[in-house]
A and B are shown apart, each in its own frame.
Chain A
């Protein structure tokens, strides 16, 4: 009778053994990654073709002679049939050839290689700062405001986090430049020089996301603290800190991890604005110049790199989720 009653559940569950969990994750998440990659590549390829009118004419201005425009079109392969161009584009990607900048005539890949480290280091640091601020803050506020306690604290926290997330990162940057750069003269105003040049861009980039993240962590933590297994932990008479840190936190973190991935990839995109405030020699300031000068091959290349960065972040987040939470086989939508 026992076997009969429990057997169906077990047979379903056997598919969830650790090895097959990772196998299933890798297969499904890998498939998803490839699909996303394909969409990204195709979109960046199509970008130049979706522009109304003649992009080369637009890029080179009305004064350029028709022959020069035509020869540049020819050089970029824009006169080939679309499918052939697509094929060439894909081939180029596999060999690391992202085309040539219209403006500088340098290979796009070189420009990217030169600019990427500045952006990547900025983004990674901002990441860490955002997480280091948000998680302890969110947990602490959740504990202090749970079950209708500390209503004023709750109101103040929510109010200030809404305020913080309403301040655009580039405004924080501008204010920072004025206060610490211009007025106080403590920190460099622009450029990437020593470690101190990182302070303002990183803070400008991370404070907004940290505020949002802290709110998410708090809400998740509050939810988890009301769950049955926390009651079980209380019934075991564990000390409060153990309940918060050992039982509630891991569950709260996994619950908000997917959202966090989105937030962090938004932070990556935020570098575009912040780099422009601080004249940071990264991809962000490059792409803006490229868009303004209509240097499309360079724009395509940088969009691809940013998109790739976002995809990597999301995949890593999902992998962390699977490690932390044994129930997930894949972060499905």
Chain B
């Protein structure tokens, strides 16, 4: 089934055709022309191209074209034989560390040293030992290739061995050898075969090289390298004698390389454009909902005003729209939180507001105004300056969000020297001062350090400091504390809070953690499947009207959770934006859903003062959720999940499908 997939790409077709050509020649040429290639014609020595001899003859008058064709078998056979030796030797050396544990260390050590020496040098070394002739050369090229395969195997093996399923098998009493054969080898097979194919191309070249130097195949036998060597002497008379076998080497080498390349691609490419045929309907086009604006006049102190924001990506089967019509308005000094599960579109909402969504993602909106400036239209340079100075971003992972090769101080200073007129020196002074402002001790020393010398919490504070290089009006913080420990989390939240209070800066906080949002924010927006499904004051979460919000709150234990009852559960799994149902996206998981919910998508409408919900049954009592959960909390959940998965993957290949789901999730988070 893999082969089929490889065949489907243009590259794959070209590669396999070429390979078939080479292999067929290798098999049949000696049978068909083996004798004719040996016919000596003393009247026609070292002749140039002629009708009888398209590329001329050699010093015995033998036809060179036939000899090039016949040489295919030996050349290809030798390359494959050497590759087999290299792979087997490499595999043995590569799994030794795993099988022997500590005793296998010398193998790793030796491979580490040997791999530094180029293959040709090793091949020459072994050629001296094994002597000239093809047998010696096969051993030489094979052993010369072993170290790099051993290194590859070691890398692959240790990557698989570090996975939890290997640990689980070991804990479960599965022996080393069995772990190797059942878990590790099957999982490294594919990359190994791909690399072996490419390695065969390399061996072919190496052989041609050895024979060309006169160290490989010896007369009367001949391979392409040998033919080239003989041809080089007469290059003044007949250049084709040297070039034709060379071209044969290139074609065969290309065949191996391309097949390997095509296989590697299709194994990698199944992410995304792979074979998953999803049963996706075109997304119901989001209606331009003038939900908020018409009723509320725009305040002068509005920092951010977003109308009907949509973000879409091209998917394997049509467009995927992970954000479907978000309306949002933030005033000066206000803190707004967006909560939602992974895949709800919350992070993408933040990125699109900040104009950081990249190709091929597309951001559309009916309105997107920041400090009164229309970000959808107008001069990009002035937007750049405005966003660079007035909008601060804080990202989730402080470990990866700084450039590891630049000093902290200059990373902060860059903002000022880019958007302000300050000199490098002033910018750096400002950076030091800002580091101090975010409570980093000894900022001068710290500014000269690299990111890896900062702890996680310090980096996140430095990131906030970077946002404060100018005078931000809005801070967008996307899961700013998720990667941090709970004690450090509190410091970062406190810092954000104090900045907001002091400078009246607005804050948009994105988090999956309701308790974090509730602590920091004034207003909470709950996102589900790319839409805001509920908007409510942060201090009145317990009065939530939307069944999703209520379920979410009940499913997460806190320090007051009743220990004598089971936790409430939300059946099913979060929605896949590629498979949006008609009607309310939450209907499949909702205990209140009825036929109407499954056909009509509710708008976000006021429920009571300060509360809005997108639900046909907002505020209705839930059918005793917890009690139900106690009786049979799982069967429904799993059944829904299983059904979903089954439908989605009908006819699809397993791995491709899984990967593409992951990709979709990545795209949005």
**Residues on A close to B: CB < 8 A?**
1-2, 4-6, 9-10, 13, 16, 32, 35-36, 39-40, 43-44, 47, 50-52, 147-149, 155, 158-159, 162-163, 165-168, 170-171, 174-175, 177-178, 182-183, 227-229, 231-239, 242, 246-247, 250-251, 254, 261-262, 265-266, 268-270, 272-273, 276-277, 287-288, 291-292, 296, 299, 303, 306-307, 310-311, 314, 324-327, 333
Q: Tell me how far the C-beta of B115 lies from the nearest C-beta in chain A, rounded to whole angstroms.
A: 8
Q: Is A9 a contact of B455 with CB atoms below 8 Å?
A: yes
Q: Is A270 a contact of B120 with CB atoms below 8 Å?
A: yes
Q: CB within 8 A of B228: which of A174, A183, A246, A268? A: A174
A237–B354 alpha-carbon span in the complex (Å): 10
Contact with A along B232-264 (1 / 0, CB 8 A): 100110010011001001100110011001000
Q: CB within 8 A of B117: which of A246, A247, A265, A277? A: A265
- Name the residue of chain B whose CB is nearest to the CB of A208: B205
A51–B359 alpha-carbon span in the complex (Å): 61
- Tell me whether chain A's interface is mostly helix, strand or loop, or mixed: helix
A to B CB contacts below 8 Å, 19 in the list:
A5-B491, A149-B359, A163-B250, A168-B246, A168-B253, A170-B208, A183-B239, A228-B401, A233-B403, A236-B415, A237-B385, A238-B414, A270-B120, A288-B215, A292-B214, A299-B128, A303-B125, A307-B117, A307-B121
Q: Is B403 a contact of A288 with CB atoms below 8 Å?
A: no
User: Which A residues are CB-close (under 8 A) to B418?
Assistant: 236-239, 242
Which 9 A-B residue pairs are closest in the complex by CB-CB distance? A237-B388, A171-B246, A269-B120, A228-B400, A269-B118, A266-B118, A166-B253, A9-B455, A235-B393
Q: Is A327 a contact of B452 with CB atoms below 8 Å?
A: yes
**Residues on B close to A: CB < 8 A?**
11, 108-110, 112-121, 124-125, 127-129, 131-132, 151, 201, 205, 208-209, 212-215, 228, 232, 235-236, 239, 242-243, 246, 249-250, 253-254, 257-258, 261, 354, 356, 358-360, 384-385, 387-388, 393, 395, 397, 400-406, 414-415, 418-419, 450, 452-453, 455-458, 463, 466, 485, 487-488, 491
- Name the residue of chain A whose CB is nearest to the CB of B488: A5
Q: Is B258 a contact of A310 with CB atoms below 8 Å?
A: no
A47, A167, A268, A292: residue with the most chain B Cβ atoms closer than 10 Å: A167
A177–B242 alpha-carbon span in the complex (Å): 11
A296–B131 alpha-carbon span in the complex (Å): 12
Q: Tell me how far the C-beta of A259 lies from the nearest C-beta in chain B, rounded to whole angstroms.
A: 11
Q: Tell me how far the C-beta of A327 lies from the nearest C-beta in chain B, rounded to whole angstroms.
A: 5
Q: Is A162 a contact of B261 with CB atoms below 8 Å?
A: yes
Known: A237-B387, A310-B116, A327-B404. 12 other contacts (CB 8 A): A5-B455, A6-B455, A50-B129, A147-B360, A148-B359, A155-B11, A166-B254, A167-B253, A171-B243, A251-B405, A266-B119, A268-B121
A283–B142 alpha-carbon span in the complex (Å): 24
Q: Is B131 a contact of A168 with CB atoms below 8 Å?
A: no
User: Which A residues are CB-close (under 8 A) to B132?
Assistant: 292
A2–B250 alpha-carbon span in the complex (Å): 64
- Tell me whether chain B's interface is mostly helix, strand or loop, or mixed: helix
Q: Is B213 a contact of A288 with CB atoms below 8 Å?
A: yes
B250, B360, B403, B491: residue with the most chain A Cβ atoms closer than 10 Å: B403
User: Which A residues are CB-close (under 8 A) to B402?
Assistant: 229, 232
Q: Is A51 a contact of B453 with CB atoms below 8 Å?
A: no
Q: Is A228 a contact of B395 with CB atoms below 8 Å?
A: yes
Q: Is A5 a contact of B457 with CB atoms below 8 Å?
A: yes
A239, A277, A333: residue with the most chain B Cβ atoms closer than 10 Å: A333
B209, B393, B487: residue with the most chain A Cβ atoms closer than 10 Å: B209
A166, A247, A262, A288: residue with the most chain B Cβ atoms closer than 10 Å: A166
Q: Is A326 a contact of B452 with CB atoms below 8 Å?
A: yes
Q: Given known contacts A162-B258, A182-B235, A326-B405, is B214 in contact with A36 (CB within 8 Å)?
A: no
